A and B are shown apart, each in its own frame.
Chain A
Amino acid sequence: MSLSPQGRSAASPATNLPPETQREMLRQMLTIRLFEERASADYRAGKIYGVVHCYIGEEGVAVGVCSALGPQDRIISTHRGHGHCIAKGADLPRMMAELYGRQTGYCKGKGGSMHIADFSIGMLGANGIVAGGIPIVTGAGLAAQMEGKGGVAVSFFGDGASNAGPFHECLNIAASWKLPMVYVCENNLYAAQTAAAATHALPDVAARAAGYGIPGEVVDGNDIFAVHQAAHRAVDRARSGGGPSLIECKTYRWRAHTERKGQPDYREQAEIEAWKGRDPIARLERQLREESALDDAELQSMERQITAAIEAAVAFAEASPFPLPEQATDDVFAA
């Protein structure tokens, strides 16, 4: 499937996912959105430091892909990493505590928004360097191949990373060695402020798969079923020894590159509004209603539960101690 430059997608592919699974997908996407809305507000209130990159608008990619994975599978994320963490099953209180710079955070206050990891669930970390995670997760793919237990590794990265050397080095090596990898390009059309249209020789990143002899597929990243089905095919192929695939999810970030006050955003308002009309969450809601798999009461109850979980995460973060200054010298080296 290919998208027009405006990103207009074909009708969503039919899905035979049970309603429970579909509702869980909705719940995860909503969790990402509400978590980030809270993180953004708390960042602007000065309770979260440094820099926060929001994933709002792109939730269908993380949830669509991670819903095709098992607990033994591993992923790596980018600087825009909250969505991947939540979709892989990370703990909201420990995430929020990390954003708050507290001792109880995932990284004991050493990482912050750009560096959340949970190795126990196969989330090998958000990464502040564009394309920096691709080689690392390809190593996780090699580890999975050597372990021989059918594990798969997924690399999330943006359109910007697809122009960097490590992307090409890793696709080549993964294809040569038939590593159980899925490379997921989240093409949100902008590398920070720079339009992909100005920096990509070809509009579709997925077309580059041909150069490495692996399947490449463009999907509507705002259609969670399309993402899920593409991921499922790629994961099956990887698990069965067929080697890596490249999936390009066309999507869009609703917010500026970062939440920093005064962060420039040169995108046209009309473009932003048009993409808001293709909200992956509203789209799934609509489909679930059409299938009578969700009513107002259920949706409100879901939203209440998520809001309560986020409130609890914030309360946990606020009640948690800051690290002791001298803990700055802990964990430079492992024992």
Chain B
Amino acid sequence: MRELTYDEAAVEAVAEEMRRDPKIFYLSTDPIPPLLREFGPERIRATPIAESAMTGMGIGAAGCGFRPIVDWRQVTFCFVAMDQIVNQAAKIHYMFGGQARFPLLFRATVCGGGRVAAQHSQSPYSMFMNVAGLKMFLASTPYDIKGLIKTAIRDNNPVISFESSRLLRLKGPVPEEDYTIPLGLADIKREGSDVTVVALAWLVHEALAAAEELAKEGISVEVIDPRSLVPLDAGTIRDSVKKTGRLVIADEAGPTAGFSAEVAAVATEDGATFARLKAPVKRVCALPVPIPYSPVLENHVFPDRKRILAGIREVLREGPAQAA
């Protein structure tokens, strides 16, 4: 199968949908050249650096029958549009009794590792998960991002595509034919029986590397990529934990009230899953600090395969299973 980068797969998803549906247009402070070349400046619009305006304009055009894509570029820039995201986009369908639809895709890169310091290294998806009325996903592969973006563009609600800046150049197989991936469906990236690792984005790849290493020791690690954050596929996570009895959650965001906390709750508030846990749930997250610039500092803040390995070993050591 041919290979595309994560970034190319995302752009291809947008282009294919724009060819299919003339109601789709794109607002961005910085148009993507291949899209601009193919669709022209009427549909690939260069906006002023005015995120509040461009986000709200997306909402308004969506309510008038269009299917806008609003590209915030980096998630950090959307914070100046928080009123439009939280007070308007998330609530407008519900607050008006469902009388109009607001099909709208927001795009934003997240994650760190780029040595660009605190304002440009953020993974704030849990802030948005906390807002009822928004759907969102964070893909880990070119195949997944293409299928998820196509689904999101066809969805009749505001959907945020969080995209890992660490993975933009990652290559992977992407079929030529049309396909979509439903929101709310996790992917088991590696099957295993001793411990479940739920990971997002770059940390999916780090978890797979950790699993490979542990396989040499006879330890079988299951790696689950939820892909979709809202809705979250609780069933797949619980089924895996029921099977392995151990759960490690790896997230590039900080732990506090984060995605990792939500996954821990999904596992532990379900009686049947809780009953099978053999060890406390372990979270492997960024340290709770703004992300620093110097490589020595930044590397220390983020989790990686070594910390995932240590987390897995910790849950394997703990609990009654050790005595068995």
Contacts and interface: CB of A to CB of B under 8 A. Distances in A.
Question: Do chains A and B interact in one complex?
Answer: yes
B99 A106 contact: yes
A242 interface: no
Interface string B41-69: 01000011010111111111111111010
A108 B94 CA distance: 10
A73 to B, nearest CB: 12
Interface string A296-335: 0000000000000000000000000000000000111111
Interface stretch (A9-17, A39-47, A168-176): A168-176
A334 B97 contact: no
A201 interface: no
Contacts, number: 147
Contacts of A107: 95-97, 99
Nearest to A115: B95
A331 B54 CA distance: 25
Nearest to A170: B53
B18 to A, nearest CB: 14
B97 A173 contact: no
A117 interface: yes
A134 B60 CA distance: 9
A125 B60 contact: no
B57 A135 contact: yes
A110 B56 contact: no
B15 interface: no
Nearest to B70: A139
Interface stretch (B81-89, B117-125, B316-324): B81-89
Contact of A172 (B42, B50, B66, B99): B50
A250 interface: no
B76 interface: no
B135 interface: yes
A294 interface: no
B52 A169 contact: yes
B60 A143 contact: yes
Scoring A111, A117, A135 by chain B CB atoms within 10 A of each residue's CB, the highest score goes to: A135
Given A119-B100, A129-B87, A335 B156 contact: yes
Scoring B42, B99, B103, B157 by chain A CB atoms within 10 A of each residue's CB, the highest score goes to: B99
B65 A106 contact: no
A135 B56 contact: yes
A138 B60 contact: yes
A115 B53 CA distance: 21
Contacts of B133: 332-333
Contact of B96 (A111, A134, A153, A176): A111
Interface string A97-119: 00000000111111100010111
19 contacts: A107-B97, A119-B63, A132-B87, A137-B60, A138-B57, A139-B58, A139-B61, A139-B62, A139-B63, A139-B68, A140-B61, A142-B60, A144-B64, A169-B53, A173-B47, A332-B94, A333-B135, A333-B157, A334-B98
